Structures are given as structure tokens and as C-alpha cells.
């Protein structure tokens, strides 16, 4: 089995393989071909890949004869010219927003596997690219927030007087939010956090932060299928807005991470609430790419409103390319090795497997995933 690792398009810094995963694929009996320069922006040289046992070559060299193609982002159909029919294309293919590309994969006879549709089951945890990348994004959001904040995070007692600790508020306590809380605590901030899923209350407390929850609306349980949040009732949204209003005015840094699958990101902070914050405060909106949790967020940009810096953070994992590549590459390896059939020297993907059913987009020249065919 030949595995091709593609060099990503401009703007992407990550790589879908690292020397460690190359070695592991070689140990499974595979041959690995890496496109020249694929690891450069993640601090991995061609020589590092070669030492790990990969062959380096051009796009057409690596695609020729490859049964598996590893990528971070889904390439355009045209960028895969020369790929073998039946080859697996594995990566973050963004199927909802890139339907044309998915059709092109089907047309080229590729079997496209969208890793971001990995189900949230215990068996798939080590294959989950959303978790691995969110973790790093949560960390980097706090670092970026701290860098943009014109004051220090920890309390400092100096001969010239005391510096008060920063107050950090995390809205949305999933994978990214938990890491943001932990990072804020490590930097010495006073941290509080909120979510619609009541299960997060204990997690917030266990990290030494203060939970801020809507208590006075009956019948709330924001947890829907697969551990994801659901959209909340109007009554809840109103109570949440009031709670946030009184809390946010006293905060220095706010990190928002709230997402609802298949829906625009919920609006958690209004312009009036931004205006209530002290000038020099910073908001990092990790949901910027999904429409933003904050009124005034501009995706990929930094804007100042009422003296408050709002960072529309999109894909922060890219700014930690070496670590995010390592975790991403291991997610891909963990997935493929779990389905590897030693006798056939290739992965075997059963049609009735929950993971396969969730992530397989195309097969036999057709789009087969229910989420796409139903749309």
C-alpha cells in the first residue's frame, strides 16, 4: 500500500504526516511518499521525512499508485489529477461548504473520508481532529488575548505596588474552553466560565475556575446528541444575556468558543455588552469562522470597538503548526491503523461500521453520505 502525503495549499501551515507517523505506517508495511516541502511550514524538513523512511517527490510522483492520500484540507479536484481510482482521500474535507469538491472526488472515483465527521464515541477519541485542534486553539486564544492585553495576567506584589490579577471569562466549555480555562489559570488569571451543558459545571470547578450559570430558568439541559449543545429557548437566552451583562462588565479578557453543530454560532455578547467592558479589555472569538459569538467580530481580523479589542480568531491551530500537525497526523494514523488488515496490507472499512458510516463521503463514483444526500 502506498500512502501519499500532500503539500497543503498556501495559507495552511500544517502537514498531515510527521516523521513519527511515517515510521509507524512503514512498520505496518506501507510505503510512504511525501510531496517535497510538505512539512516545511510545520518545521519538518524533507530530510526528516526521508530519515523516517519516506520517499520525497512531486505531486504527480506521490499520487501515482497511491491507495491512500493524506491531507490536512481537502484539495480541489483538479489538484488531484493522476490520483488512482478507489484511493482513500483522508483529511478535513469540509463537506458542507465544499460540496463541489466532494462531487469532484466522487467523479474521480476517490473514496473521500471527512475526518471532522468522526463520531463522538470512546473508540474514536484518538482519531478526533476537532478535539485535537480545538485543544491547541483554546490554549492559543488565551496566549493571543494576553499578548493583546496591555496589562499583566498574574497578581504581582512589587516594591512599586501591586498589580491586580486579570479576570478571564470563558464562554463555551468544550474542548477549547477547558484548555482556555487551564491556560488562563496557569498564567495567573482569575477565571470564570459558562456553558449551556450543566455537566460542564463540575469540570469548570475541577480546574479551579468559577462557574457562572443560569439557574432561574426551569427545564434547561443544553446537551443534545453526541455531547453537542442544542439551541436554547428564548427564555433561556434572555436569562443568559442578563447574567452575562452583569458579569462581563467586570471582565478583562473574554474567550468565546460556543458552537452548535449545523447552525450559526450563538450570539453571546452584544455591542452594548462590549461597551460595558473597561477600555483595554480583549475578547477572543474562537467561533468567528462560524459567524462569531460576539457582535462586531470580523473573521480573521482584529477590530477595536468601544476601546475593546475583538480578535476574530479563525483556525488558531495553524499558528502552532508543529504541534497541531503532530496531533492531526496521529489522529489520521490512529484511524487508519485501527482498520488495518495485516493480511491485505491495507485498511478495510466495513460498510456497517459507525465510524466508516459517519465519515465516508464518496464511494464507487457516488456521494454516499446521508448528511450530504439528504441535504
Residues binding ligand NAD (CB under 6 A): 120-122, 124-125, 128, 130-131, 134, 171-177, 194-197, 222, 227-229, 232, 257-260, 266, 268
Minimum CB separation from ligand NAD for residue 321, in Å? 21
Minimum CB separation from ligand NAD for residue 118, in Å? 7
Q: Quick one: 112 or 260, whose CB is closer to ligand NAD? A: 260
Q: Quick one: 200 or 309, whose CB is closer to ligand NAD? A: 200
Q: How far apart are CA 295 and CA 214, in angstroms?
A: 21
Minimum CB separation from ligand NAD for residue 255, in Å? 11
Contacts of 128 (CB under 8 A, 6+ apart): 118, 120, 331
Q: Quick one: 72 or 178, whose CB is closer to ligand NAD? A: 178
Q: Quick one: 63 or 290, whose CB is closer to ligand NAD? A: 290
Minimum CB separation from ligand NAD for residue 293, in Å? 8
User: Own/partner pairs for 364-370, CB < 8 Å, 24+ apart?
Assistant: 364/109, 365/106, 365/107, 365/109, 366/106, 367/102, 367/103, 367/106, 369/95, 369/114, 369/117
Residue 13 CA: distances (Å) to CA of 48, 197, 219, 361 = 17, 33, 44, 25
Q: Quick one: 55 or 263, whose CB is closer to ligand NAD? A: 263
SS3 for 277-323 is CCCCCEEEECCHHHCCCECCCCCCCEEEECCEEEEECCCHHHHHHHH
State the alpha helices, DSSP H only, in the chain.
Answer: 19-27, 46-51, 59-63, 99-107, 129-148, 175-186, 200-206, 234-248, 271-275, 321-338, 354-359, 370-373
Name residue, grid cell 466508516.
356
Cell numbers at residue 197, please?
451543558
Q: Quick one: 241 or 372, whose CB is closer to ligand NAD? A: 241
Minimum CB separation from ligand NAD for residue 125, in Å? 4
Cell numbers at residue 357, please?
458510516
Q: Quick one: 151 or 228, whose CB is closer to ligand NAD? A: 228
Minimum CB separation from ligand NAD for residue 123, in Å? 8
Residue of 346, 348, 347, 372 lying closest to 359 (CA atoms): 372
Minimum CB separation from ligand NAD for residue 174, in Å? 2
Within its chain, how far is the Cα of 9 from the centroid? 18
Catalytic residues: 120, 125, 128, 131, 228
Q: How far apart are CA 201 and CA 194, in angstroms?
A: 8
Amino acid at each position: 500500500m502506498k500512502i501519499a502525503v500532500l503539500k497543503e495549499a498556501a495559507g495552511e501551515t500544517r502537514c498531515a504526516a510527521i516523521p513519527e507517523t511515517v515510521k509507524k505506517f512503514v512498520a505496518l508495511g506501507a510505503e510512504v511518499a511525501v510531496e517535497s516541502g510538505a512539512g516545511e511550514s510545520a518545521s519538518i524538513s524533507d530530510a526528516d521525512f526521508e530519515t523516517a523512511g519516506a520517499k520525497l517527490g512531486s505531486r504527480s510522483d506521490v499520487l501515482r499508485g497511491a491507495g491512500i492520500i493524506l491531507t490536512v484540507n481537502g484539495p480541489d479536484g483538479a489538484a488531484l489529477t493522476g490520483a488512482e481510482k478507489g484511493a482513500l482521500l483522508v483529511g478535513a474535507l469540509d463537506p458542507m461548504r465544499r460540496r463541489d469538491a466532494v462531487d469532484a472526488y466522487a467523479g474521480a472515483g476517490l473514496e473521500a473520508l471527512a475526518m471532522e465527521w468522526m463520531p463522538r464515541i470512546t473508540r474514536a477519541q484518538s482519531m478526533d481532529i476537532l478535539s485535537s485542534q480545538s485543544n491547541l486553539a483554546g490554549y492559543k486564544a488565551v496566549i493571543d488575548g494576553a499578548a493583546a492585553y496591555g496589562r499583566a495576567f498574574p497578581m504581582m506584589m512589587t516594591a512599586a505596588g501591586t498589580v491586580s490579577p486579570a479576570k478571564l471569562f470563558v464562554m463555551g466549555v468544550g474542548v477549547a474552553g477547558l484548555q482556555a480555562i487551564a491556560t488562563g489559570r496557569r498564567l495567573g488569571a482569575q477565571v470564570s466560565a459558562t456553558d449551556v451543558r450543566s455537566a460542564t459545571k463540575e469540570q469548570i470547578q475541577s480546574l479551579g475556575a468559577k462557574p457562572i450559570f443560569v439557574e432561574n430558568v426551569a427545564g434547561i439541559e443544553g446537551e443534545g446528541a453526541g455531547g453537542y449543545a442544542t439551541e436554547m429557548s428564548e427564555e433561556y437566552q434572555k436569562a443568559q444575556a442578563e447574567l452575562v451583562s452583569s458579569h462581563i462588565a467586570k471582565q478583562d479578557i473574554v474567550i468565546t468558543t460556543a458552537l452548535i453543530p449545523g447552525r450559526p454560532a450563538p450570539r453571546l455578547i452584544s455591542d452594548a455588552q462590549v461597551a460595558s467592558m473597561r477600555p483595554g479589555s480583549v475578547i477572543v472569538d474562537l467561533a468567528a469562522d462560524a459567524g462569531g459569538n460576539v457582535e462586531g467580530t470580523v473573521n480573521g481580523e482584529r477590530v477595536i470597538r468601544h476601546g475593546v479589542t475583538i480578535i476574530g480568531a479563525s483556525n488558531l491551530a495553524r499558528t502552532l503548526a508543529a504541534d497541531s500537525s503532530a496531533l492531526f497526523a496521529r489522529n489520521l494514523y490512529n484511524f487508519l491503523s485501527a482498520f488495518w488488515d495485516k493480511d491485505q496490507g491495507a485498511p478495510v472499512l466495513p460498510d456497517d461500521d459507525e465510524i466508516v458510516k459517519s465519515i465516508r463521503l464518496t464511494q464507487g463514483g457516488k456521494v454516499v453520505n446521508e448528511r450530504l444526500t439528504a441535504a
